[in-house]
Amino acid sequence: MADLRAIADSRPVRELAEAFAAAGHEFAIVGGPVRDALLGRSVTDLDFTTSARPEQTQRILDDLGTQTWDVGRDFGTIAAKVHGETVEITTYRAEVYRDDSRKPEVSYGDTIEGDLVRRDFTINALALMLPEMRLVDVSGGVEDLLAGRISTPGSAEASFTDDPLRMLRAARFASQLGFDVASETREAMVEFAERLDIISAERIRDELVKLLSAADPAPGLRLLVDTGLAERFLPELTALVATQDDHGRHKDVYEHSLTVLQQAIALEGERHPGEAPDTVLRLAALLHDIGKPATRRFERGGVTFHHHDIVGAKLVKKRLRALRFDNSTVKRVARLVELHLRFFGYSDQQWTDSAVRRYVRDAGEELERLHILTRADVTTRNRRKAERLEHAYDDIERRIDELAEAEELAAVRPELDGERIMAVLGVPPGPLVGRAYKYLLEVRLDEGPIGPEAAEERLREWAAKELA
């Protein structure tokens, strides 16, 4: 209770608790903050519940002189900033769900016990009543915290029928907390997987992003695949399970993809410590091989996946758009999937400077992510091969840095712009200028900087042949 007491004794929380008590209303910290404090995890968001109705809550906050705004008044929630701390305060609720919707018909409740029993999992059905510091646990949440178990306050069947999104939350908490899902809860996830179809793509997307933001998303992803939930919104991941990879016979592409995701997260932490989880990188790591099932061929006693990078990029665009990801995320993830094989082979035949420039040009803003993804994509058990690939990529990164320092590689472009091309050739804007620009870009990539005068001479030579 030490961490909970520290939270309760903080100025914003103490002031709120005293104000609600003075007005004759119950007030409590509820859900995730209580759970995380009991687990010794950091508490970043404060959620409160109260017996006060929204209009009464608003009056109390107005009397305190706090800034408030509606985040869901129809659901009884008012947000406020108290001494620099953003909080959400929700009236006790009792909810009824329709069979064809996850949106509840909300009615206000009268007791903290009634409010808690409707929540998704026992570990979230915990409240600390303030200012008296009384812990309320209506369904064995503390016991489940100690056991590392995820279960529902009532029957899992009723919980998931009411709100199917809770099934995805179970997978997220399994990864975030390292907990196991209780057998009856897991069985209900299998039975009611189809109920997920009534959930909006945006809500599913948000839960997927939260899961991928965990330190190790693999347990949650495995749960989604094993229960059939992934088939409802990410069938390409499930399709990887039975797809043997091209490295040998000891693993399937599914396990390889989870390993790549884990290794990418580790590298992300090493290279960018303290930064927020990189959703684009993690999506690319998870989905980089989804083109393999469609391209698998059995040839000469082996398995091939020719052009799975190109096919995979197209599948990624289609799936991420269906999940309502923004255009930038779709474009970036697809580009990484398309390029993830580009490096392999460098260790066998070192690239020319021209090839290195093209690698950087094609990666563009995704170069750093491509570095991480390519390194993470090495999952071979052959230590000698793994070390050879690691040294090869060390070498290509070194060469990129050297060329970048010498040539401003990140902004590779022809040494003559469109206006200068038109002036040298004496032509108006048109297709010829575009072709000339592409030619000069190839010269720049092949040979590096040659200077404006040499570029003009090369342009005249090209134009003489082009217009002959």
Confidence at residue 318, expressed as pLDDT on a 0 to 100 scale: 97
Q: Say if CB 28 and CB 129 are below 8 A apart.
A: yes
What average pLDDT does range 380-403 have in this prediction?
84
pLDDT of residue 173: 97
Cα separation values, 49 from 62, 270, 287, 295, 338, Å: 17, 39, 40, 53, 48
For 115-163, what is each residue's pLDDT tens digit?
Answer: 999 899 999 999 999 999 999 999 999 999 999 999 999 999 999 998 9
Q: What is the mean pLDDT of residues 32-43?
A: 91
pLDDT value of position 416: 86
Instruction: State residue 99's pLDDT score.
Output: 55
Percent of the chain with pLDDT over 70: 91
**Do 14 and 131 touch, CB atoms closer than 8 A?**
yes
Lowest mean pLDDT among 87-96, 314-323, 342-351, 405-414: 405-414
Q: What is the pLDDT of residue 73?
A: 66
Confidence of residue 348 (pLDDT cuts 50, 70, 90): low
Position 269 scores a pLDDT of: 96
CATH topology of domain 150-233: Hydrophobic Seed Protein (1.10.110)
DSSP assignment of 431-456: HHHHHHHHHHHHHHHHH----HHHHH
Residues 6+ apart with CB under 8 A from 59: none
User: What pLDDT is stored for residue 197 in this prediction?
Assistant: 94
Q: How far is CA 166 from CA 150, 159, 160, in A?
A: 11, 8, 6
Residue 97 is predicted with a pLDDT of 54
Q: Which CATH class is domain 2-147?
A: alpha beta
What pLDDT is attached to residue 248?
46
For the cut 90, the answer to whether the pLDDT of residue 21 exceeds it is yes
DSSP letter (8 states) at residue 10: S
What is the pLDDT at residue 442? 82
What pTM, to 2 d.p., does this model score? 0.82
Element (H, E) at 156: helix 156-162
> Which CATH class name applies to 242-412?
mainly alpha
pLDDT of residue 111: 93
pLDDT tens, position by position, 54-112: 999 999 999 988 888 877 666 789 999 888 888 899 999 875 555 555 555 667 888 99
Q: In this predicted structure, what is the pLDDT of residue 104?
A: 57
User: Whose structure tokens read 């082009």?
Assistant: 466
Q: Report phi then psi at 170, rounded to 5.
A: -60, -45
Distance from the Cα of residue 367 to its chain's centroid: 19
pLDDT of residue 418: 86
Intrachain domains 2-147 and 150-233 with the same fold = no
Q: Which of 132-146, 258-272, 320-334, 414-428 has the lowest mean pLDDT?
A: 414-428
Sign, CA dihedral 404-353-356-382, equals: negative
For the chain, the structural domain boundaries read 2-147, 150-233, 242-412, 413-466
Does position 250 have pLDDT exceeding 70, yes or no? no
- The per-residue pLDDT for 257 is 96
CB of 197 within 8 A of CB of 231?
no
> Residues 207, 209, 211, 215: what is their CA dihedral angle, to the nearest 10 degrees?
-160
